[in-house]
Structure 1
Amino acid sequence: MKHLLAGPAAAVLGLSLLTGCAPDRGDASPAAPAGQADAAYPRTVEVPGDPPQRVTVPARPTRIAALSPDVAEAAVELAGAGRLAAVPASAANPSLSSHAEAMASVPVKLPPGTDPDPEQIISLKPDLILLTTRHGGEQDAREVLAQAGIPMIAITNGWRTLEEVERNLTVLGRALDAEAKARDLVAELDRRAAAVAEKIAGVTERPGVAILSNQADRPFLNAADVLTSDLVRRAGGDLVAERIGWRTTGPVTAERLIAARPDAILLVDVTGRGRDSFRALLDDPAVAELPAVRQGRVRLLPARISYATGGVRLADGLEEIARWLHPEAMR
């Protein structure tokens, strides 16, 4: 696997909605040829982390419980929705997922929040559990679920960079008997990221970008270690979060945004409410006088191409950000 340029990133996403069912799961991945699945399993999956994991998957999984939006999106891209037994309810949000329709067909939608209920998960009788240990609740659930004897892959790196996304796709591809698909996705990410890097190689001015998201009831200023920040860096921008020492994604006030002095403002739409969800902040008289706002250097992107749930669609987000920041270079 070719290495991309380095840079940190990861977004903290809340889960939403409640349990739902749908009978038709038409995008299910094709079954493995007779005998082929048996020959490929059991298999051991090496999962990087601290400490690294060695997970034995005894048979080709067909009842996968994906507890976090990022692993759910990756699993659908790699294996199709037909092999999933449960996903976060937020995975069916079209602003957050590029596979919202397929996600809606998964039988169980896990309740909102970042505290999966181990008893509910075990009751589904999954043959593989996938999760990302970003939150305390997910870490606690991992410890309980580990005692149930169900094969489990816990992603611990946070999906903060394209490299981490590629690594996770490769690991999950191995677990899901989808190595070829994982290689194709990684190759596409590499190819398109390299094309952007080549086009902006001569850029000398890097605008300072404030990344705002709407995953809560008010706009959040994203820290410099989220995946969207990695996209901004690769697209030829700098991060005002680094300039002002903003280390944790959290609510932003008009005063804080003004102090950051952004040259451009990137709005990440997690909830699907669009620019209206940022209006109170952007319409503040002092914020409206920022050059970024007055000159129209404000861009709205859906989370499905700019957050850790993006999968291969992150290449779309990278290209859009680069065209926004450096339109001449990207022609």
Structure 2
Amino acid sequence: MKTKVMGLVLVAIFGLASCSSTPDGPALAVSEAENIVAENIVVLSGDASVLVEELVSAERIVATTDRGAGTPAVETVLPAGGTVDPEQILSLDPDLVLLTSRHESEDDTADILNQAGVQVASFESSNWSDIDSLLDTFTDIAQLVGEEDKADRLVEEIKAQRAEVDTAVDKTRQPRVLSLMARGGQRFFVPTSAMLNGLVEEAGGYSVNGELGAVGTVAADPEQILALQPDVILVEDFRGQGRADFADLLTNPALAEVPAITNANVAYLPQSEIGSAAGLKIVDGLKLVAASIGTFS
């Protein structure tokens, strides 16, 4: 088993042996528990669940986050985005819990589970920012569940598919691309660290979201969109609501002189295909983004 974990913080309170750090990622707390192959896995991250399911059978997953139709048949399905009850998780007797730390509540849950002697792997949002980080995270998870050989084979397949796309992408044009998303009736610029913007850059586009100079989600408004002057607008189509969510904003007369609006270069892309939830099908998302911004031949 590899000892370097990139972009992953692994902590086990009991049996803590040593800590190390690498130039590629954060410090790693190495414990005696690290060598235990997880058989009762709880996944509190929709991003991670897609990857775990590529590696292990559903029988080894005792609980996972609800992903709608894509949710596997497991013992316990937890509501997406809901508050996690650590006592409920402990009642499932897990030997590994995976979560993505986006809010203080996730950190609190990790602390409680650690104190109970449960191995916890806590990921950051940056673990899903582009294809490279996704593949690194996939390899990290494979180490934790004892499926390194399977992961290595799958990663090589992804790299081959990616190389084919790369040869078909025109990276000389670099259209200015703006990405938008909506959640709970509110509209935002897609955060610069999100997978969609990573795909835009790999597909030969220039993500103007970075010009906002903001970290995290920022509310989208016509004035900022006008100032960014995108050639293409990509709307993350979340559960088929993308067109409805942005209908009034993108038809606002104030945006009439935005090149993407003038030339009707607005595309609605399924979040399940161009976000971290795509998992190992992310190269299909790369092709979709390249075709949508006009760089795929």
* TM-score, with length taken from structure 2: 0.83
> 50, 58, 61: which one pairs with 2:26?
50
Cα 1:106–1:289 shift into 2, 3 Å: farther
CA deviations on 1:211-254 (whole Å, 9 max, x unpaired) are: 11123312210132222111100001001112342433222112
Q: CA deviation at 1:289?
A: 4.6
> 44, 67, 72: which one pairs with 1:67?
44
Determine the structure 2 residue equivalent to 1:247.
215
Q: Does 1:127 align with 2:95?
A: yes
Give yes or no for contact 1:47–1:171 (8 Å, CA) kept in 2: no
Give distance in 1, aligned partners of 2:59 and 2:254.
51
Q: CA deviation at 1:104?
A: 4.6
Q: What aligned pairs does 1:112-261 form with structure 2 within 5 A after superposition?
A: 112-113=80-81, 115-156=83-124, 157-200=126-169, 203-261=171-229
Give distance in 1, aligned partners of 2:242 and 2:190.
17
Q: CA deviation at 1:271?
A: 3.5
Give distance in 2, aligned partners of 1:219 and 1:135.
20
| Counterpart amino acid of residue 110 in structure 2 | R
Cα 1:47–1:171 shift into 2, 3 Å: farther
Determine the structure 1 residue equivalent to 2:245.
277
- Point out where structure 2 has 5 or more consecutive residues left out of the alignment: 1-19
Give distance in 1, aligned partners of 2:21 and 2:238.
28
Determine the structure 1 residue equivalent to 2:6.
none
Q: CA deviation at 1:53?
A: 3.1
Give distance in 1, aligned partners of 2:132 and 2:80.
29
Cα 1:163–1:87 shift into 2, 3 Å: same
Q: How many residues align?
A: 274
**RMSD (Å) for aligned C-alpha atoms:** 2.3
Q: What aligned pairs does 1:294-305 form with structure 2 within 5 A after superposition?
A: 294-305=262-273
Q: CA deviation at 1:185?
A: 2.6
Give distance in 2, aligned partners of 1:175 and 1:195.
30
Overall identity of the aligned pairs, in %: 31
Q: Does 1:85 align with 2:53?
A: no
Q: CA deviation at 1:323?
A: 1.9
Cα 1:114–1:256 shift into 2, 3 Å: farther
Q: CA deviation at 1:61?
A: 2.9
- Point out where structure 1 has 5 or more consecutive residues left out of the alignment: 1-45, 95-99
| Counterpart amino acid of residue 113 in structure 2 | L
Give yes or no for contact 1:305–1:317 (8 Å, CA) kept in 2: yes
Give yes or no for contact 1:218–1:278 (8 Å, CA) kept in 2: no
Cα 1:250–1:82 shift into 2, 3 Å: farther
CA deviations on 1:239-292 (whole Å, 9 max, x unpaired) are: 111234243322211222122211101111233323212212112222355221
Determine the structure 1 residue equivalent to 2:15.
none
Higher strand share: 2
Matched residue of 1:219: which SS?
strand
Cα 1:69–1:288 shift into 2, 3 Å: farther
* TM-score, with length taken from structure 1: 0.75
Higher helix share: 2
| Counterpart amino acid of residue 93 in structure 2 | K
